[in-house]
């Protein structure tokens, strides 16, 4: 016996303040089930390093529209320093005439360089397979299952997460009233109960240029900076018992002109991963640099605790996400297939089985939240 399921989806246009360029979905029957592995392949084939998200945004908008979603695209401005001129988007989708109570979200951009797709029997390899195009595919597959069951879910895919979260910050100005936000990042399909914050600082030292044969005639900015950084590395960083320690990395050092020149300026970039309030870390860095370097705190993303769901394995995300910039989209959860240990590397990969498992996990979590 062949049974045809029909889905009652009305024609019309779901609108939300601030969202533009709409695609109105209108279908009478449920589309064929979406294959998240095949969709991951198609997404990875579209290069979308940060500032070049236009093509993948267009692809997702057309795909979702063809499958009966009302889709809205919102332009994300190009910063001058990007050197790019093409369009970039946020893409939001919801069932026609439905205001979602739960929204799945992740980012469309990837880090450079672009790595073409390859695969074997068990894994997909390439830029974005786990961070975060495989996540996009599994979220869409899960959302379609939930939509068929009549649950009010939506989708939000943003630009710029890998650099400055520009897309998330723009989307946060245009919320749709959702109660929950399930953000996708590689967590090995474990629910993150906390996400470390970030504090970025620039230390700048200044001195007086001179010939290195006569150091008494100059003052080395490099020597002062090295002394300050040695003190920074000895800072007793905060620890939170159920999360772990804060960590600190000196990622970049620049200064000087040549080995035989006393440097008159030097600079270092320092990043701390926070497990609590940033105030004691700020104070300790300022004290370490006192009299040796100026300190400019250029970025802070707060430490976050997130909602737990009974019965799911958990983890602590030592990395930061778009979640702090999407506070108006509901209570956050963090969950996704793939390992952060291979994201941003030449060996980025994701298990095909893990992608299929993620679809089941996303649907399970959404049903529990919306029960």
Q: State residue 304's pLDDT score.
A: 94
pLDDT of 29 over the 70 cut: no
Q: State residue 149's pLDDT score.
A: 95
Q: How many CB atoms lie under 10 A from the CB of residue 218?
A: 17
pLDDT of 138 over the 80 cut: yes
Which residues face 105 on adjacent strands? Answer: 156, 183
12 or 15, greater pLDDT: 15
pTM, two decimals, is 0.86
Cα(321)–Cα(92) distance, integer angstroms: 18
Q: How many CB atoms lie under 10 A from the CB of residue 31?
A: 12
DSSP 78: P
* pLDDT (tens digit per residue) in 32-73: 889 999 999 999 999 999 999 999 999 999 999 999 999 999
Mean pLDDT of 346-371: 97
Q: State residue 6's pLDDT score.
A: 30
Go through the domains of the chain in sequence order and give each one's CATH number.
Answer: 20-195+304-370 (3.40.630.10), 197-301 (3.30.70.360)
% of residues, the chain, pLDDT over 70: 92
Cα(127)–Cα(115) distance, integer angstroms: 5
Which of 171, 196, 190 lies closest to 181 in space, CA to CA? 171
Mean pLDDT of 239-251: 95
% of residues, the chain, pLDDT over 90: 88
- Longest CA–CA span in the chain (Å) reads 94
Across all residues in the chain, what is the average pLDDT?
92
Instruction: Give the pLDDT band (50/70/90) at residue 26.
Output: very low
Mean pLDDT of 346-351: 98
Instruction: Give the pLDDT band (50/70/90) at residue 31.
Output: confident
DSSP 305: E
Say how many CA atoms lie within 13 Å of 245 toward its Cβ. 5
Active-site residue set: 161
* Measured CA distances, 176 to 71, 100, 101 (Å): 13, 8, 9
Q: State residue 20's pLDDT score.
A: 58
Q: How many CB atoms lie under 10 A from the CB of residue 6?
A: 9
Q: State residue 27's pLDDT score.
A: 42
pLDDT of 13 over the 60 cut: no
Which residues face 248 on adjacent strands? Answer: 272
Q: State residue 21's pLDDT score.
A: 55
Tell me if 320 sits within 8 A of 162, measured CB to CB.
Answer: no
Of 24-28, 182-186, 242-246, 321-325, the range with the lowest mean pLDDT is 24-28
- Torsion (CA) 89, 92, 96, 99 in degrees, nearest 10: -150
* pLDDT (tens digit per residue) in 320-332: 999 999 999 999 9
**158: part of which helix (H) or strand (E)?**
strand 153-158
- Torsion (CA) 48, 54, 58, 60 in degrees, nearest 10: 40
């Amino acid at each position: 016996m062949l049974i045809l399921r029909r889905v009652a989806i009305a024609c019309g246009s779901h609108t939300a303040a601030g969202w533009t360029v709409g695609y109105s979905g209108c279908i009478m029957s449920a589309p064929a089930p979406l294959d998240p592995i095949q969709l991951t392949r198609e997404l990875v084939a579209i290069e979308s390093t940060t500032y070049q998200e236009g093509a993948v945004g267009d692809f997702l908008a057309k795909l979702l529209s063809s499958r009966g979603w009302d889709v809205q695209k919102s332009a994300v401005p190009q910063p001058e320093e990007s050197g790019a001129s093409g369009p970039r988007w946020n893409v939001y989708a919801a069932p026609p005439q439905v205001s979602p109570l739960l929204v799945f979200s992740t980012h469309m951009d990837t880090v450079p360089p672009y790595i073409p797709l390859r695969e074997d029997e068990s894994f997909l390899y390439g830029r974005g397979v786990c961070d975060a195009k495989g996540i996009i595919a599994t979220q869409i597959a899960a959302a379609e299952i939930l939509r068929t069951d009549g649950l009010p879910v939506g989708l939000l895919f943003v630009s710029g997460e890998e650099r400055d979260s520009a897309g998330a910050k723009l989307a946060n100005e245009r919320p749709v009233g959702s109660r929950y936000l399930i953000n996708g990042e590689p967590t090995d399909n474990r629910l993150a109960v906390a996400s470390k914050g970030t504090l970025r600082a620039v230390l700048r030292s200044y001195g007086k240029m001179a010939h290195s044969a006569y150091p008494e005639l100059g003052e080395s900015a490099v020597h002062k900076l090295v002394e300050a950084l040695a003190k920074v590395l000895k800072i007793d960083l905060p620890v939170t018992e159920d999360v772990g320690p804060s960590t600190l990395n000196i990622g970049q050092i620049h200064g000087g002109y040549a080995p035989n020149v006393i440097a008159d300026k030097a600079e270092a970039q320092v990043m701390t991963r926070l497990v609590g309030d940033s105030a004691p870390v700020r104070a300790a860095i300022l004290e370490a640099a006192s009299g040796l370097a100026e300190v400019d705190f250029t970025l802070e993303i707060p430490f976050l605790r997130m909602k737990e769901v009974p019965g799911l394995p958990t983890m602590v995300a030592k990395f930061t996400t778009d979640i702090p910039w999407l506070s108006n989209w509901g209570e956050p959860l963090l969950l996704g297939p793939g390992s952060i240990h291979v994201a941003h590397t030449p060996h980025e990969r994701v298990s095909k089985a893990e992608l299929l498992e993620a679809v089941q996990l996303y649907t399970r979590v959404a049903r529990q939240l919306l029960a």
